[in-house]
Structure 1
Amino acid sequence: MTDLEGPATRRPALVLVMSEHPLPIRDVLEASGGRTVDPRGDGAVLCLFRTVAEAAAAVLAAQRRFPVTAGVHVADLDADGDPQAAFRTCDALVAVSGTGRTVLSADAGAAVADALPAGAWLRDLGSRSLPGRTGPERTFELLHDDITGAGSAGHAERPAHNLPAQLTTFVGRAAELATLRELLERHRLVTVTGAGGSGKTRLAWQLAAGMADSTPAGVWWVGLGSITDPDLVPRALASAVHAFVDPSGDVASAVAAQLRGRRALVCLDTCEHLLEACAQLVHQVLTTCPEVTVLATSRERLGVAGELVWRTPPMEADDAARLFDDRAALVRVEPADPGEEAVVQAICRRLDGLPLAIELAAAWTRVLTPSAIAARLDDRFRLLVGGPRGVDDRHRTLAASIAWSHDLLAASDQALLHELSVFSGGFTAEAAAAVCGDDTLAGITRLIDKSLVVVETRTAERFRLLDSIREYASRELQAAGRSAALRDRHLDFYVAFAESAAPWLERDQDRWRVALLAEHDNLRAALEWGFAAPDPGRARRLAAALARFWFLTTHVREGRDFLDRALAAAPEDRTTLQASLLSGAGLLAIAGALSADACRLAERALAIADTLDDDANRGRSHFVLAAGLFYTDRKAMERHGREAERFGLTAGDPFAVDAGCVLRARALTNIDRHAEAASVVRGRYAAARARGERAVGGFLLAVEVWAALFTGDLRTATRLGREAVATTRPLGDLYSFGHMTVNLAWVTGLRGDLAAAERLLKPILGTVSAAAGPELLALFALVPGKLRLWAGDHTEAVRWFETAARFAEPVTDNWHVAQALPGLAAALRRLGRPDEARVHAERALRLAAALELPHIRADALEELAFLAATPGAEEDLHHQALDVRTEASLWTFVVRSYDALAGCAATAGDPRKAARVLGASDAARASMDHPRPPVERPDHDGLLTRLRADLGAAELADAMAEGAALSRDDLHAYLGRSRATRRRPVTGWNGLTRAEREVVALVADGLTNPQIGARLFMSRSTVKTHLAHVFAKLGITSRAELAATAARHADPDSDP
């Protein structure tokens, strides 16, 4: 038997098998290489094998055919070659194994651990006392995927995982867990990477716990954070999976061998400081054990073939806030204040959604409110300390977590990380090379791999540091005394960047705007550094280059502040730069609805530009002046608009050209010459959009929107209004996008969908109310007032109209205020405050005359009509309003006059006329898709009820049909015949009334009395009466004389 001795894996093995079928069992064992010794005849078979591996294979072969119970031990021979000592150990193993199990001694387990048959594996049964042996001994159970589960090993099953218990709840991350689980089903190695404190470990734990029940061979957690010796990594895995290893042998191979054939999940947590050792171990496990999946957490990828790297994202805003609240509830006595929700969300945003930082911040709620915590985050590394006892040191403070990653870097990568901290909000490879040196991309790649730099886009065009990492690196840069030099280079780069981007303004404005938006935080930082410098010249250049950018975005107020600082830095400067700063500041004043400021700035800019013969700033300055005079001086606005176009053409500045064109057109729009205004801008929009000009493009369309809105083409107004909104939406600004949205809301309200109009306005008004100044709020208050008035909410309408009427205080005699006054009068009238209503209507009438505003004149006359003391005065004022609307082609609003005059006719006792006019109004409204607003429907319904009572349903329907069939000209003529007459001569041609002259004209055309009655909606007797009066006044007796007399008058339709 001595030829069986050798190394541990070659040591002979003795197998004792108990079975009800000893003879067949013996045959199987001998066929598998065993040699029977000492057959006992009591159902036991004792066999000796050359190796433990052969013994294991033989027992498994027997188990496939018969139920067996077996013990396996190495066959250490005594001096006489007698294996009795080994036999006694086998007997003891059988005694504790339980029916249907094969149990190995510790020595046997060690010998076979890395030589198991395919599909076989060992389960560590722990240490226990064996009969006849001294002291506890470690034992293992031999299992196979095909034949496990036949009996009991004499004690409870071990859990299918060794996951450490968690002391706090897991919050959020549902989508991330679902994604990772799907990835683990498709990839055998998934490495969860991310910055320190990003929640990698807890996320991996939660994922592993969720997979424990569905992983047959268990989920095994290996925490490496406290291990510093790479040689201990395989031993840590061996300990976790309860593998038996020979201390003097290859531990990794032994572990891999014992995992072979087992479908298990191995979790290696915190690999970044032991990358090489982890990579080697994982490679060996994956290549040896095709059923094993590995989940790793690391701040850097392992670099193993087939590795799928998944970067841990920041927590979603809602999840982050829930995490804060959950952890705060553990230390806070008082319940959370609902009013602090926004503050908590802001804290989580500033902490980059990092769970560690959020938990550390939440711990402070035991002594500080969230607001107080937020105020201290500028010094976050002093605040975010004191994590719970028992966790790794690197997780007890935010600084320690970042330092752990920082200290693993090479010196050159540490220096690069410090230098990158000068960037705010991200950077490009080009920017990094310019500021930090040419050879930076390789270093950035290494920092990305170590989760210290984040790739912002799929195309890897931008990178950034998380704020906490950036602050840590910035402190290191300052400590090294290198901060000022880096910030100077940063400023130089962004001045050049902004100035070189200017040509894109006129070729591809979308690209230009997007590029600057991406660098906005860097541009802010550069400006702040530049203005703090002894010479602010570079900051002034940068501010001038950014004026249009601020105008085209939501950052108008911020831009105005920077431009004011730039101007204040050199108030006596008379250079082109100063002119550009002044015209830029004027542009932003326009966007903020500060007309007076805009004009003052533009005049100063124009004075410098004229001196320097600077056509570019001349064009911009004239545009700003035109826009600043928009509300008060139409003729000057038109003149400056033309000058903006002229100088824009000579300077090659299409912005000034198109903006000047818009204001020249609006000078016509404001006085209701809409057809002319539309012809001025027609065709300009396409060219503006081709170069990405969204703001001016929107205003070019707006001219056509207003033309269609006022002249009865509401469907076209809607289509163009939607296009204007879509054009300006990417800007998201209040000036252009806000105006376009308000215009569309107005059209939508006119078409009857007040709810949709309110939805359009809601985000705009919310932003204006929260962030804009009073001038912009007043500017946008007009349409909300109209919508509230039409909805019947008169109190709220008054509030909005009063806000609009305060525009440009104290100079409130302006175009915008004039727009608000008739609506304000209407709301006050409906609230039963007629005296106040009359004051505002009369003021509107005066402003309409002074500023040449036909539609305001008509609206004011209409309100004064409703406030008139007598029916005759009311009707006359409504007729005047109709005349103004007709003269200016304000067809959308003539229907209001129709409705009012129908009411007047009913009051005057002419129900058939009232019905005809209502029919005409209904037809006109239907053709325009302009239903009566809710506030007018009760009066309309009441009038219909009255007319139905007077005429009967059939006659009412006939009369309304007659009115609906009338042309607009015929309807107006019909209305004019019943208009209250002025004092006229008793006899002669000038003594004829309008109705009498219409009868005369038809007589002259040869019509009979019945035909005249049908044409003029008169009875035959009424026609006879009119002719009798005519004959008497003219002193004639025949129709022929009448026709001849009519022919002698060149203007028979004149109204004496």
Structure 2
Amino acid sequence: MASLVMLGQVSVPSETPDASVAVRVAVLGPVLVEGRDRALSPATGALSRALLVALALAPRATLSVPALVDALWPNEPPRQEKAALQTLVSRLRTASGDGVLESTPGGYRLAVDAAQLDLSLARELHAEARAALEQGDASAAERLASTALALWRGEPGADLGHEELASELADAAHALRCELTLVRAEALLAAGDARAAAELAGESASSGLVDERFVSVLMRALASDGRRNDALRAFAAVRDRLADELGSDPSSELAALNAQLLREEGAPRPARVRIGLRSSPNELIGRDGDVAALLEATGASRITTILGAGGLGKTRLAQAVAAASERTPAVIVVELASLRTDDDITLALATTLGIREARSTRLQLDEPLVRTDLRTKILVALGERETLLVVDNCEHLIDGAARWIADIVDSTSSVRVLATSRAPLEIPGERLYPLAPLSSVDGDGGPAVTLFVERARAARPGTVLPLDIVARLCERLDGLPLAIELAAARTRTMSVEEIERRLGNRFALLTQSPRTAPERHRTLLAVIDWSWNLLGEGERMLLRRLSRFPDGFNTDAAEAVAGAPDAPRGVTDELDALVSQSLVDVVENEETGLLRFRMLETVREFGELQLVAAGEEELVREAAFRWAAGFALDYLADELGPDQVEVFHRIDAEHDNLVTVFREALTAGRPDIVTPLFALLGFYWSMRGMHSEVVTFAPEVQESLRSYEPTGDAASAAITAHTIIAGTMLYGDLRTAVRAILQLRRLYALGVRARTPMFDAMAQLVMSVSRREEGMQLLERLRGSDQHSVSAFGHLISTQLAENEGDIEASLRYAERSFALAETAGDVWSRGTSGQILAQLHSQSGHPAETIEWSRVARRHLGALKAEGDIRQLDWLVGMAHVSLGDYETARTVFDVFVSVDESELGVDAIDLRGIGWAGLAEIAIGVGDRAEGLRLYDVALGVYDRSPLRSAPWYVIIGGAAICAHVFSPEPDHARVRRLARRIRTAVVVTHRMRPNFIDRPVLGSALIGIAAWLVLEADAASGAPRGELGRLAAEALALSARLAARQDVPSLRRDRLAAEFAELLGAEALENANARTAPLTREESVERAFTVLRHPAIVGLLWR
């Protein structure tokens, strides 16, 4: 049985056919281990890599602590050997997937199956390859050995930095590789590929010590390839080497083989037949993998059909496969594109094979005698030798081509057929090979980009080709090689920017092709028109109507939008026909389990042209409106609750289609469609953290709904729509939020209610936002609800309010209760959000271990909803927690990602993420003792906010406060620099308070106070007399107030205990004790008021602006 290997995903023989398991530990090259995201990544740290290798060399065996210590520290073991090993194991477990490393009473072992460790997998594949060869299955043996050899990714042990383990691994890997290479060489020879066997055996025979097994294979392969003299010279060379190096002679077996070759006379080799192969005008780009796969497919199956839409390059690929079939005695290509009837196929086959069609000019081709005579001659000619028959362009004569190919395969034993077609032949034994478009994103741009660049430079050598624009062009052209070549030809008279702008009418643009191209390939329109003309009227109607779906569709959507009562066949039958013609692709959605159909964008745009020509635009638009509104109302109520994940998967699949209809409904002034769609999509976006989508559409939606009087389910949907607008816009566009609240109150006054208790709770909470007492009473009722999901939501809102108030203890209590209730209710979003809040609360309280644990819990639930924004927030919490724990390597992997986020994709969120990333790297530098680098990185972090709208944002203030502390704690702080930072942070806090006096984020204010306190300590230390005392008193009070306001403690530089110790050393502990005593009785509101009094103190203002 063959095995297919890809790094991280390996298919291996097992008791279950085609079983698939993931390689979790890889040592045949740089050491890799499965991470928490289940992807293989380099193991960090030389000791971690050495530990994995030590365990890999004893697979499934338990190595004791002393054995591992001896292996890892052979010269100087650590003082606390067991503790050091446990620390190493702990770090490796933190960075690796669950269950990779296992503790046992006797020590540690890799808890992975043989197929999950590349070294063990290679050994198993070697045993299988050797067994297959002994059983006479050379093809399987060669594939198995090649599969195993593909596991090597470099020099095993090269990245260890551990001489003994590296040497042991390298020796084991080298010995195994030699055995695999030997099996592969023997298999190639047994399969008849003597040339490849000789090349492989020759490389091994000439390297390292003499291995006579390779020499034997080399001699036999050379002889089999007609190179007997070369085989004899190989024997002479090894005989001389053995005499010179070892003073010995070749073995008796090798000497006997040499004698046999001296006696033998070469046998004549059969002549090769090649008919119909075309010389390639230029390089075939991006299809090497397809050629290799098709060579394997034609070797395993007697009928293989390359299936795909027009313009994909099926003909060119088939010609490449024919040219690469060197071991096949006869390769014959028959082209059907120019034929018009099924009977023409007989004549085409006969003409290609050089067979005269009849014995008498009076007989016609359609006469039975002639057809019988030709059929017999054709079958006899094809069956004379092993033959690969390529039948190109079968789709327009599909019945006749299928009959002939089936007849050839049934009547001969030596012929294999490779067909190309836009539709399957649908005959027994056919193996389909769906041809994919060229990718534009792999490697340095992908084969699509390479193709465009090569053809464009051939058209105009000096043309400027920005690769990002070329990649977009290729993506919009669906990766169709023909379309890409037609577009590249346009560079003779246009820039690529102009081509991209004009691509909206691709059928008018892409009309220039070589004069030698077939008529069906002269223009892009001709390519699609060729397939269109093969369709029936019902299939054409379906294609043009389904073109209104920009992102695919399922059967229900197709029936709703494109079904016609008077259609002769049902939608499913017509759809099946379109799939058969390669005009529609079908895939199974892994998340929903439903089949999903898609058109290439080129086909879809052709369909839209036909839709306009048929005058059906308005009919299809109304059908799409009905489908989308119905979909929204069907799934809206289940966006919260136990079916939430499944519903989100359904919305995922239809998202782009729903958004397209939503935009059209807004433009058309259809509030009856806008209302349910925005309710569904708006809530979906909010749960995913995609709040910018809501912000973008909210004003336009509100205008659309202004005079709308909804009824029934639409009225309930309107409640949800206004709730989303109000809740999202409350801290941005206050006017829009207030208008939404007024609409909610009007609907509630009319007796309208949301469809579910959860949506009702959200609506009521939004309506009470300006009525604090009413809102607090409502929250109390929500927390006491007998509906678990409603109570969980009430506790969730309460925890956020308590955190903003600085009451961390109450916030933790509410969050834990919310999580427990959400678990009971099966509410995934509430579980993920409450888990995220618990991680955040523990983080800002300085509890890194708890932060990591709750982040793991939250990630599981938020990941199910693909809430990427919330997951990114968990990432920085985890990263900073690892900094606090001293695990700098793990933390660095998080923050390295943050500093490279793309602002074009994440908008202003990218600014915060980059700022957090640079701040995290700064803390790592400080943690490892490079404070100068840490201060530089803090400058970079704050520089991210220059010329941005976030100069007063919470993270700017937090990072600024931490940067001040980092400077203050340096051996020689720059007083002027620290003063400038303090001025910027103080200004940001005061300006924010002036603009939004009713909203105070107390932990952020507390973080700013820590920075200000650190600066004041620095200034006080440099002062004397009364100013020193005054500045010390203000510093103490700012530090004491930061505790009352629950300042963040997850950034190490902001830790209050460290600043308190510094304060006590410089200014005395009594001042801080007095400040704590003065602030202890203050309420939270009084603490805020007192904080701003401190920030506005004349001594501080005068010092900052002097």
Which interval holds the TM-score relative to the shorter structure?
A: 0.5 to 0.7
Partner AA of 1:744 in structure 2: V
How far off is 1:294 after superposition? 0.1
Separation in 2, partners of 1:611, 1:386: 66
- Give TM-score, length-normalised by structure 2: 0.61
**Are the structure 2 counterparts of residues 623 and 345 from structure 1 closer, same or farther at C-alpha, using a change threshold of 3 Å?**
farther
Separation in 1, partners of 2:610, 2:317: 31
Provide the secondary structure at the position in 2 that maps to 1:504.
coil
Provide the secondary structure at the position in 2 that maps to 1:546.
helix
How far off is 1:346 after superposition? 1.3
**Are the structure 2 counterparts of residues 698 and 806 from structure 1 closer, same or farther at C-alpha, using a change threshold of 3 Å?**
farther
Partner of 2:137: none
Partner of 1:362: 488
**Are the structure 2 counterparts of residues 378 and 805 from structure 1 closer, same or farther at C-alpha, using a change threshold of 3 Å?**
closer
How far off is 1:326 after superposition? 1.6
Separation in 2, partners of 1:889, 1:435: 56
Partner of 2:798: 664
**Are the structure 2 counterparts of residues 152 and 344 from structure 1 closer, same or farther at C-alpha, using a change threshold of 3 Å?**
closer
Partner of 1:389: 515
How far off is 1:976 after superposition? 4.8
How far off is 1:224 after superposition? 0.9
**Are the structure 2 counterparts of residues 225 and 555 from structure 1 closer, same or farther at C-alpha, using a change threshold of 3 Å?**
farther
**What do residues 673-718 of structure 1 show as CA deviations (whole Å, max 9, x unaligned)?**
3222111121433554677755543331133223322444211111
> In the alignment, does 2:726 pair up with 1:611?
no
Contact 1:804 1:816 in 2 (8 A): no
**What do residues 200-231 of structure 1 show as CA deviations (whole Å, max 9, x unaligned)?**
111222122111x1102x11111111111322
Partner AA of 1:682 in structure 2: E
Contact 2:962 2:1054 in 1 (8 A): no
Partner of 2:1017: 865
Partner AA of 1:411 in structure 2: E
**What do residues 381-417 of structure 1 show as CA deviations (whole Å, max 9, x unaligned)?**
0011111111211111111011111101122222222
Partner of 2:583: 452
Partner AA of 1:419 in structure 2: R
Partner of 2:208: none
Partner AA of 1:229 in structure 2: T
How far off is 1:319 after superposition? 1.4
Separation in 1, partners of 2:395, 2:751: 64
**What do residues 871-890 of structure 1 show as CA deviations (whole Å, max 9, x unaligned)?**
87587677667756777888
Q: 1:223 aligns with which of 314, 325, 335?
A: 335
Partner of 2:762: 620
Separation in 1, partners of 2:963, 2:767: 30
Provide the secondary structure at the position in 1 that maps to 2:597.
strand
**Are the structure 2 counterparts of residues 565 and 235 from structure 1 closer, same or farther at C-alpha, using a change threshold of 3 Å?**
same
Provide the secondary structure at the position in 2 that maps to 1:228.
coil
Q: 1:173 aligns with which of 287, 308, 330?
A: 287
Q: 1:580 aligns with which of 716, 720, 744?
A: 720
Provide the secondary structure at the position in 1 that maps to 2:428.
coil
Separation in 1, partners of 2:358, 2:737: 89
How far off is 1:374 after superposition? 1.4
Partner AA of 1:201 in structure 2: T
Separation in 2, partners of 1:579, 1:978: 56
Separation in 1, partners of 2:556, 2:632: 14
Provide the secondary structure at the position in 1 that maps to 2:722.
helix
Q: 2:600 aligns with which of 466, 470, 488?
A: 466
**What do residues 990-1029 of structure 1 show as CA deviations (whole Å, max 9, x unaligned)?**
xxxxxxxxxxxxxxxxxxxxxxxxxxxxxxxxxxxxxxxx
**Are the structure 2 counterparts of residues 683 and 214 from structure 1 closer, same or farther at C-alpha, using a change threshold of 3 Å?**
farther
Contact 1:221 1:268 in 2 (8 A): yes
Separation in 1, partners of 2:386, 2:422: 27
**Are the structure 2 counterparts of residues 694 and 379 from structure 1 closer, same or farther at C-alpha, using a change threshold of 3 Å?**
farther
Q: 1:331 aligns with which of 459, 462, 468?
A: 459
Separation in 1, partners of 2:1060, 2:985: 19
> In the alignment, does 2:934 pair up with 1:797?
no
Structure 1 stretches lacking a partner, 5+ long: 1-147, 630-634, 909-974, 983-1056
Aligned counterparts, 1:960-999, within 5 A: 976=1069
Separation in 2, partners of 1:639, 1:434: 46
Contact 1:725 1:740 in 2 (8 A): yes
**Are the structure 2 counterparts of residues 562 and 271 from structure 1 closer, same or farther at C-alpha, using a change threshold of 3 Å?**
same
> In the alignment, does 2:398 pair up with 1:275?
yes
Structure having the higher Rg: 1
Separation in 2, partners of 1:889, 1:556: 27
**Are the structure 2 counterparts of residues 536 and 714 from structure 1 closer, same or farther at C-alpha, using a change threshold of 3 Å?**
closer
> In the alignment, does 2:320 pair up with 1:206?
yes
Separation in 2, partners of 1:673, 1:534: 47
Provide the secondary structure at the position in 2 that maps to 1:540.
helix
> In the alignment, does 2:479 pair up with 1:348?
no
How far off is 1:151 after superposition? 7.0
**What do residues 69-108 of structure 1 show as CA deviations (whole Å, max 9, x unaligned)?**
xxxxxxxxxxxxxxxxxxxxxxxxxxxxxxxxxxxxxxxx
How far off is 1:275 after superposition? 1.4
Separation in 2, partners of 1:365, 1:644: 65
> In the alignment, does 2:846 pair up with 1:702?
no
Aligned counterparts, 1:703-782, within 5 A: 703-733=837-867, 735-753=869-887, 756-757=890-891, 759-761=893-895, 769-774=903-908, 776=909, 780=913
Partner of 2:278: 164
Separation in 2, partners of 1:149, 1:453: 55
Partner AA of 1:860 in structure 2: I
> In the alignment, does 2:703 pair up with 1:568?
yes
**Are the structure 2 counterparts of residues 348 and 793 from structure 1 closer, same or farther at C-alpha, using a change threshold of 3 Å?**
same
Partner of 1:192: 306
How far off is 1:255 after superposition? 0.8
Q: 1:528 aligns with which of 663, 668, 674?
A: 663
Separation in 1, partners of 2:767, 2:965: 34
Partner of 1:541: 676
Q: 1:429 aligns with which of 546, 552, 555?
A: 555
Separation in 1, partners of 2:959, 2:736: 23
**What do residues 336-371 of structure 1 show as CA deviations (whole Å, max 9, x unaligned)?**
43xx21211111111111111111111111222222
Partner of 2:617: 483
Q: 2:540 aligns with which of 410, 414, 417?
A: 414
How far off is 1:245 after superposition? 5.5
Aligned counterparts, 1:53-92, within 5 A: none
**Are the structure 2 counterparts of residues 583 and 192 from structure 1 closer, same or farther at C-alpha, using a change threshold of 3 Å?**
same
Separation in 2, partners of 1:659, 1:851: 21
Contact 2:1002 2:1046 in 1 (8 A): no
How far off is 1:259 after superposition? 2.0
**Are the structure 2 counterparts of residues 416 and 613 from structure 1 closer, same or farther at C-alpha, using a change threshold of 3 Å?**
closer
Partner of 1:835: 979
Contact 1:778 1:806 in 2 (8 A): no
Separation in 2, partners of 1:876, 1:237: 101
Separation in 1, partners of 2:686, 2:574: 38
Q: 2:433 aligns with which of 298, 306, 310?
A: 310
Separation in 1, partners of 2:268, 2:806: 97
Partner AA of 1:215 in structure 2: T
> In the alignment, does 2:641 pair up with 1:503?
no
Partner AA of 1:253 in structure 2: T
Q: Percent identity between the aligned chains?
A: 24
Separation in 2, partners of 1:303, 1:803: 61
**More moved, 291-300 vs 574-583:** 574-583
Partner AA of 2:387 in structure 1: A
Provide the secondary structure at the position in 2 that maps to 1:833.
helix
Provide the secondary structure at the position in 2 that maps to 1:566.
helix
Total equivalences in the alignment: 749
**More moved, 777-786 vs 489-498:** 777-786
Contact 2:676 2:718 in 1 (8 A): no
Q: 2:649 aligns with which of 514, 520, 524?
A: 514
**More moved, 785-794 vs 451-460:** 785-794
Contact 2:892 2:921 in 1 (8 A): no
Contact 2:935 2:967 in 1 (8 A): yes
Provide the secondary structure at the position in 2 that maps to 1:192.
strand
Contact 1:878 1:897 in 2 (8 A): no
Provide the secondary structure at the position in 1 that maps to 2:306.
strand
Q: Name the Cα RMSD after superposition.
A: 4.0
Partner of 1:104: none
Contact 2:520 2:530 in 1 (8 A): yes
